[in-house]
Structure 1
Amino acid sequence: MADQAKTLPPDVARQVIDPHSYAEWDGLLDTFDRLRLESPVARIEPDDGKLFDPFWLVTRYEDVMRISKDNATFLNNPRPVVFSFRDAIEFSRQATGSDMLVDSLVVFDAPIHPKYRRLTQDWFMPRNLQKMEEEIRAIAHATVDRLVAAGPEVDFVKLVSGPYPLHVVMQILGVPEEDEPRMQMLTQQLFGGQDKDLSGTGLDQMTPEQVVQLVAGAVRTFEDYFAKLAEDRRANPTDDVASVIANAMVDGAPLPARDMAGYYIIVATAGHDTTSASTAGAMMALAQDPEQWARVKADRSLLPGIVEEAIRWTTPVQHFMRTAAEDVELGGQQIKKGDWLMINYVAANHDPAQFENPRKFDAARSPNRHLAFGAGAHQCLGLHLARMEMKILFETLLDRIECIELAGEPKRATSTFVGGLKTLPVRFVAS
């Protein structure tokens, strides 16, 4: 029998949806630890009933995994797949006719989703990615060359973890190198619009309306850019992902313009920003633990464990939303058809029922069945690429850096959706 629904107090509700909470990591984890024990599936409602629609917060690993794998009961459509205020949803409807500013792989359900995913899935499988290994290794070497030249004290995010995965994914998309800074800024506005440093506004407390207008502007610029790229790839196809998308046929017809733009945008943005966050998280953990750096420098077989743990420990994609397709019981609560749910990956990846001492960075953690890439039909398309990029970069760093330590306080992004370190000051000695 389902328990009586518990609505969280306003201060806890605000913490869950406030982007500043995600910059204060330990306090947020404390809250999730308490909620997991007291009310693992809890109702969140706005103070005044106007700011946002009520939703269920899901914090337990087993519940988040269940939702992630059951794509028939828990839908990505028709409601927003990322937490949104009502003003933002209304703005999106007026601007695009959809509740989402971007229609991409992330928001589609079956039968559309598997058809679209198949278009590029083979491209991102390990067998095909092996063809890119030497090119990625060359990018890693050039990145570490710049690091060594700029040392001994640098911001690792600005110099390494930001530009390295960006350059890799832009090579995959066929975007010219001179356009990469523009792609970086647009990505930061799309995912980090709530952060004054990443959005480029300098505004510490933007209203939801200001944030969504900033994001919408970034989306329009992306759409214009990729429309031109697609036109070129239709006239002059190459072997890059941009050509696959531009010339794709589904059910005998080319992709609609909006869907094609969304496909480009998700590859261009999620393809590097999340890897950047995990890479910075790995470096922070190693810089805080000189003995672990020395161990992996001597024994590279430890590297895959460091990469995997960094992805769990950092959890760059912090949540997604789902909509119940039918009445269902979850975590002792009765979820009604049409209810909105937040599956919080930060909470799930720090669930002690699944991960012993979850706040500890443990490179030997096994098994490490984290949810940072999601699960089920919507599992991250680029997970093999992310692991490969990180492994190659850290092999290169370990070859060139003798020791490394923090040179200041790292700072996390102010963001409810995609998050991670925005600054990581380090001091190192080159080999």
Structure 2
Amino acid sequence: MSGTAVLPGDVARRVIDPHAYAQWDGLLDTFDAIRAETPVAKVQPDTPGLFEPFWLVTSYDDVMRISKDNATFLNNPRPVVFSFNQAIEFSRAATGSNMLVDSLVVFDAPIHPKYRKLTQEWFMPRNLAQLEDELRALAARTVDRMLEQGPEVDFVKEVSGPYPLRVVMQILGVPPADEFRMQMLTQQLFGGQDKDLSGSGMENMTPEQVVQIVAGAVQTFEDYFAALAEDRRRNPTDDVASVIANALVDGQPLPPRDMAGYYIIVATAGHDTTSASTAGAMQALARDPGQYARVRADGSLLPGIVEEAIRWTSPVQHFMRTAAEDVEIGGQHVKKGDWLMINYVAANHDPAQFPDPRRFDAARSPNRHLAFGAGAHQCLGLHLARLEMRILFEAILDRVAAVEPAGEAKRASSTFVGGLKTLPLKFTPA
């Protein structure tokens, strides 16, 4: 492998260690060092057979290029998120696929655009505008509860977790009685590497144990949404669940596994990522009373809060791609069939694109972050996420005069979807 930039073993381990992602500043230090020295570098297992070697891509320009070039860099045939070989083998045995869930984020063209088109119009701003009154009422009730429990609350538990969860469950037609179940399953799906979120109570799980927790969550999701789809076929409504249940692609209904994956990605990614961004913004503003006062006094900064929160937290921390042909990127020769990790945390903290990237700046402009991805696989729900966050922050800024930390915030241990799992804050009502 002469001429190939290979990360040292200790650095490579940090890139794939979920616990490293819970130590945010240290993780950013790691990516800064890698990006400065070798923005595209090979990661190899120090234990033979643990995982397939891959290229780590950390610079903004390179991640943007790969994200937009869906012909050269494919989601399939390898898992779309980083997986140990043991997890891939488990998935193949259980489902016949490299992934436990086949969803929009897994498929390439020509399947992907056909599936995306089914709900894309539903998530466009013109349609979402019809939800604004409901969202404002929900945001007001959420802030009511927060202030009633104050002056100190865990913002994740009381606000940033339940608010987007309720929004997405309404869109899907899931009754309020089932929301807690949906939240727990999402935590197991995305937070299986975290002992608190997985519910395992285990400090150090093996890859096999993690994937078994995730597999159990997936099966429960599939059973739940199969029943929901059957109901929506008999009794269609105007929710997204009905759109998916009755969709036709090339004149045929979605296969059961693809339909289940569609439901799962909307139900899970639709709230967990928004929760993480919202909590990240409140953490940053609580640490900077002057900035909180400025955004409270100047409503024109509100969209900036939203965009900066999404960049600063980067809840979807990476995706994987497979090279469809030989290609040079970042000065490295990537061969056809090579695996690549496009790391959004690293790209969204690249100082070449974002001056002083660790600083939360509601006035940052331009802010062309990659937290929603780019190209054909750009996040389907990006307009919904922005709308939800803007309306919630309007309610908070209107009714909360000041906010400050009230204890130690903790991040989830997860390499894929991550963010704060606790955020103790103290509020001063307006």
TM-score interval, normalised by the smaller of the two chains: over 0.9
Supply the distance in 2 between the matched residues of 1:143 and 1:298 (Cα, whole angstroms): 22
Q: Which amino acid aligns with 1:295?
A: R
Supply the distance in 1 between the matched residues of 2:7 and 2:398 (Cα, whole angstroms): 50
Structure 1 position 236, deviation (Å): 0.4
What are the Cα deviations for residues 173-217 of structure 1, in whole angstroms up to 9, with x where unaligned?
000000000000000000000001111111111111000000000
What are the Cα deviations for residues 317-355 of structure 1, in whole angstroms up to 9, with x where unaligned?
000000000011111111011100000000000000000
Match of 1:310 in 2: 309
State the TM-score, normalized to the length of structure 1. 0.99
Match of 1:424 in 2: 423
State whether structure 2 residue 376 is matched by structure 1 residue 377.
yes
Supply the distance in 1 between the matched residues of 2:410 and 2:249 (Cα, whole angstroms): 43
State whether structure 2 residue 218 is matched by structure 1 residue 219.
yes
Q: In 2, are the aligned partners of 1:43 and 1:55 still within 8 Å (CA)?
A: yes
Q: In 2, are the aligned partners of 1:169 and 1:268 still within 8 Å (CA)?
A: yes
Supply the distance in 1 between the matched residues of 2:206 and 2:144 (Cα, whole angstroms): 41
Q: Which amino acid aligns with 1:103?
A: D
- The sequence identity of aligned pairs, in percent, is 80
Q: In 2, are the aligned partners of 1:193 and 1:215 still within 8 Å (CA)?
A: yes
Matches within 5 A, 1:160-199: 160-199=159-198
Supply the distance in 2 between the matched residues of 1:332 and 1:49 (Cα, whole angstroms): 27
Supply the distance in 1 between the matched residues of 2:233 and 2:2 (Cα, whole angstroms): 56
Local SS of the residue matching 2:156: helix
State whether structure 2 residue 292 is matched by structure 1 residue 273.
no
Q: In 2, are the aligned partners of 1:3 and 1:333 still within 8 Å (CA)?
A: no
Local SS of the residue matching 1:394: helix
Match of 1:405 in 2: 404
Supply the distance in 1 between the matched residues of 2:3 and 2:176 (Cα, whole angstroms): 56
Matches within 5 A, 1:119-268: 119-268=118-267
Supply the distance in 2 between the matched residues of 1:82 and 1:50 (Cα, whole angstroms): 18
Supply the distance in 2 between the matched residues of 1:398 and 1:8 (Cα, whole angstroms): 45
Structure 1 position 263, deviation (Å): 0.1
Structure 1 position 3, deviation (Å): 8.4
Supply the distance in 2 between the matched residues of 1:14 and 1:181 (Cα, whole angstroms): 34
Structure 1 position 91, deviation (Å): 0.2
Local SS of the residue matching 2:373: coil
What are the Cα deviations for residues 51-77 of structure 1, in whole angstroms up to 9, with x where unaligned?
101000000000000000000000000
* Runs of 4+ in structure 1 over 3 Å off: none
Supply the distance in 2 between the matched residues of 1:388 and 1:48 (Cα, whole angstroms): 45
Structure 1 position 49, deviation (Å): 1.9
What are the Cα deviations for residues 385-418 of structure 1, in whole angstroms up to 9, with x where unaligned?
0000000001001111111100011111000000
Supply the distance in 1 between the matched residues of 2:118 and 2:136 (Cα, whole angstroms): 26
Structure 1 position 48, deviation (Å): 2.3
Supply the distance in 2 between the matched residues of 1:160 and 1:138 (Cα, whole angstroms): 14
Q: Which amino acid aligns with 2:89?
A: E
Supply the distance in 2 between the matched residues of 1:263 and 1:335 (Cα, whole angstroms): 32
Supply the distance in 1 between the matched residues of 2:125 and 2:319 (Cα, whole angstroms): 26
Local SS of the residue matching 1:329: strand
Q: In 2, are the aligned partners of 1:153 and 1:428 still within 8 Å (CA)?
A: yes
CA-atom RMSD, angstroms? 0.9
Matches within 5 A, 1:19-168: 19-168=18-167
Structure 2: stretches of 5+ with no match in the other structure: none
Supply the distance in 2 between the matched residues of 1:94 and 1:84 (Cα, whole angstroms): 15
Supply the distance in 2 between the matched residues of 1:3 and 1:164 (Cα, whole angstroms): 52
Local SS of the residue matching 1:149: helix
Supply the distance in 2 between the matched residues of 1:179 and 1:45 (Cα, whole angstroms): 42
State whether structure 2 residue 300 is matched by structure 1 residue 301.
yes
Supply the distance in 1 between the matched residues of 2:302 and 2:5 (Cα, whole angstroms): 43
Supply the distance in 2 between the matched residues of 1:323 and 1:128 (Cα, whole angstroms): 35
